[in-house]
Amino acid sequence: METERNFWLDRPVLITGATGLVGGWLTRRLIEAGADVVCLVRDWVPQQELIRSSLIEKVTVVRGDLRDRDVLERALGEYEIDTVMHLAAQAIVCVANRNPISTFESNIQGTWNLLEACRRSPGVHSIVVASSDKAYGDQEILPYNEDTPLRGQHPYDVSKSCADLITHAYAKTYDLPVAVTRCGNFFGGGDLNWNRIVPGTIRAVLRGERPVIRSDGHFVRDYFYVEDGAAAYMLLAEELSSRRDLRGQAFNFSYESQVTVLCLVKEILRAMQSPLQPQVLNEASNEIRRQYLSAERARTVLGWQPIFTLAEGLARTIPWYRELLT
């Protein structure tokens, strides 16, 4: 931790998506490491962790939208940004299916705007772009590794595939110091998207209601605790700042476990000592049935290891919602 603090102490860092799930925890971790944090904020939602925890008072806030490149270039220049963490995205699959254009604008146009602004800002020395395991699309050969082709088919998946490829193009064409993270389904305290399985299940149990599973319960996902995600992003940024060989590379971060939605819900019910049984709707559409990742490259190239297990992540998540909702 001391080495980490020495690296980040007084380092100017721009975070997009700081009011989101991962962004909130990443902001907290960077503040604790002594970084000088600047957050691009579009919408003000009082329930978001960055605001609820008063962390917002410890950062510089730039109000604006990723689609406005002038705002991005001003922020990078005026605050002399050294490191950029690009996490902002429209991240809900069902919203992307209903509103593909706004998803494409946020996730694709927003990414190229940010990378172009960074290209025009010579003070930027390290950029981490958050992609997703959804960028791989539906594949027969699992687990995904970083050489698996990017084959998104539905609006959200396609938006992540495109942003990922655009990032690679900026690294290869302009030698931009940028690398990509591809993680599974994040969970943890601070996720206010109640149609996601972890916060939705916890809220239902706290209300004495049966948790709802939109799919048939047998979809396989790779769940990843948010504090591990924040730590992984910081590690990658640190390594990228001094290693040119990492430019343009992508890294999977994962517990490397196959978990069905039904098993995850039952694990939450056990942890909360609830006798409730889930309600399985079997209504999911345009979603990939099986996804899980190999994190071998992150382990061998970056020396990465997770801090928590899935069970430990859930044990840290449930009290956050209990405090929020009771």
SS (H, E, C) 248-261: CCEEEECCCCCEEH
Spatial distance between the Cα atoms of 275 and 298, rounded to a whole number of angstroms: 39
Predicted confidence band of residue 286 (pLDDT cuts 50, 70, 90): low
**Whether residue 156 lies in the annotated active site:** yes
Mean pLDDT over all residues of the chain?
94
Would you state the pLDDT for residue 50? 86
Q: How far apart are CA 114 and CA 86, in angstroms?
A: 8
Q: Is 175 left (phi over 0), alpha (psi -120 to 50) or beta?
A: left
Cβ(231)–Cβ(307) below 8 Å? yes
Q: How confident is the model at residue 99 (pLDDT cuts 50, 70, 90)?
A: very high
Do 76 and 14 contact (CB within 8 A), yes or no?
yes
Q: Please identify which residue in the block is written with the tokens 């972890």.
A: 198
Neighbours of 222 (CB within 10 A): 26
- Radius of gyration for the chain, computed over Cα atoms and rounded to the nearest angstrom: 19
Helices 69-78 + 110-119 axis angle, to 10 = 40
What are the pLDDT digits (tens) for 190-201?
Answer: 998 898 999 999
Backbone φ and ψ for 41, nearest 5 degrees, come out as: -125, 125
When comparing pLDDT for 287 and 117, which is higher? 117
Q: How far apart are CA 297 and CA 302, in angstroms?
A: 8
- 53 vs 108, higher pLDDT: 108
The CA distance from 325 to 131, in Å, is: 31
Is residue 224 predicted with pLDDT exceeding 90?
A: yes
Task: Give dist(CA 227, CA 241) in Å, integer.
Answer: 22
Question: Any residues with CB less than 8 A from the CB of 154 and at least 6 apart, and which?
Answer: 93, 96, 97, 286, 287
Span 23-30, average pLDDT: 96
Higher pLDDT, 207 or 289: 207
pLDDT surpasses 60 at 2: no
H/E segment holding residue 171: helix 155-174
The per-residue DSSP string of 264-326 comes to: HHHHHHHHTT-----EE-----S--SB--B--HHHHHHH----SS-HHHHHHHHHHHHHHHH-
Write down the pLDDT at residue 220.
Answer: 93
How far is Cα 317 from Cα 31, in angstroms, rounded to an integer?
21
Q: Which of 136, 144, 156, 170 is catalytic?
A: 156
- Give the pLDDT of residue 1: 47
Between helix 21-32 and helix 226-240 the angle, nearest 10°, is: 60
Mean per-residue pLDDT, 145-155: 95
Percent of the chain with pLDDT over 90: 86
With cut-offs at 50, 70 and 90, classify the pLDDT of residue 283: confident
Contact 313, 188 (CB under 8 A): yes
Bridge partner list, 290: 220
Mean pLDDT of 313-319: 97
Query: 10-34 burial string, b = 16+ CB within 10 Å, else e?
Result: ebbbbbbbbbbbbbbbbbbbbbebe
User: What's the whole-number mean pLDDT along residues 20-43?
Assistant: 95
User: 261-271 and 197-206 are packed helices; what angle lies between their axes, rounded to 10 degrees?
Assistant: 40
Confidence of residue 293 (pLDDT cuts 50, 70, 90): very high
